[in-house]
Structure 1
Amino acid sequence: MDFSFSMLSDPDIMSMLMTGVSVSLKLFIGALICGFLIAAIVTGINLIPSRAVRAMVKLYVEYHRNVPTVVQILVWYFGMPEVLPEAIRGWINQGNTEFSFALIALSLNVSAYYYEDIRSGIRAIAGTQLEAARAIGLNAVQALRYVVLPQAIRYAVPPLINRSIILFKDTSLAMVIGVTELTYQAKRIENATFQTFQIFMISTLIYLCIALLIAAMGARLAHKYPADFRN
């Protein structure tokens, strides 16, 4: 059996690999940003003193944390278009439908985990911080934005980074609906060359290098903005 990596000299194969890496990174960065924004919004909504609102937030979080991510992607891709009006469905189908629905599913999924990480960070902050913020005239939203969240996020940096690494790995699940990310492209190359070991070893190394880079950036961020545990 030939274990050489001569396939890397083929410009077409290299182009497919680079396309896969590019799509994976776009999916990861898009879901990371959208997921974090959604988590921040859900955090603010959960502060509303209403049992119904908090029950809805809890249901949202439990769904996304307990249903397999690949199932959530399939629900969005195959299920959601069926409940949309035909005009909207046609408009969606004109674009990159697979990528868009994968991005939505991954964003919503990771937002539930980010929300729990941020909430844990908020719990680590002394209640007097919020009281002091309200005492100087800030309303609940301003106190959350300017006092609570900046500190909570510092506490939450380590789990947020861990979840972000998992999010990057979860981008490979988008291949089930035809998103041309790295695993999808690796499978295409394997089908064309029959060099299974080589191509999946290459994709493994790419995933490993990017995941380690994310971890290193997270460690640097945590070092630059350390949490103050003295409050």
Structure 2
Amino acid sequence: MLTFRNVSKTYADGTRALAGISVEVARGEILALVGGSGCGKTTLLRLAAGLDTASGGTIRLDGEVLDRPHPGVGLVFQEPRLLPWLTIAQNVGFGLADLSAPERVRRVAHALERVGLAEHADRWPRDLSGGQQQRTAIARAFVAQPKVLLLDEPFSALDAVTRQDLHGHLLGLWAETRPTIVLVTHDVGEAAVLADRAVVLRPKPGRIHEIFAIATPRPGDPDANASTTRQLRAILGASLRASG
């Protein structure tokens, strides 16, 4: 279980980015973080990834404090951040040096097949579209089989059709090992499609406005997703009006 207990973050210049964030994320749950600009979504993700240090409170994974990068926690950024001198297959298998060569090859091939890039294994990142590069980044994150996967708006730069396609690839990979996923998104429709719950944050400082349970099963029907999206949008609007 991933737990946030009274997490706060104040920067050296006095800016209060987060205040009193407490939430428990169950094993295998997909939790979306949504909110307006300045509500600390990415800051909270960076704290969970061990890339920054909280000013107060704790973040724990199965009881272990997360205050530095952890091998059981993976992270996917907004940009793919692929290594241009490695092939697509080599990028996906980059973090698997501790595995035997046959197991590494097996995992990489399977992950590439799952995201529809098997025929591109020996190509270079520059030869792929933006959507294909992001598929590679998602495959790289899942292939290590992390306990927790943190996603920082990984689909924000993509067109609607490519984004929807990647949602399917993400859920397909998640269904195999069911890691806990924390997804930062500005898109309430994306949260409605992917998440089990959405934490709506209020800005300045970032704090929880409401935790919304998403009842629509995956894959959900369009009408149910639209209804959930409307509810989430209303909650987000209320959080912005209540800021301060």
- Scaled by the length of structure 1, the TM-score of the pair is 0.28
Q: Which has the higher strand share?
A: 2
Q: Highest CA radius of gyration, 1 or 2?
A: 1
Q: Which has the higher helix share?
A: 1
- Scaled by the length of structure 2, the TM-score of the pair is 0.27
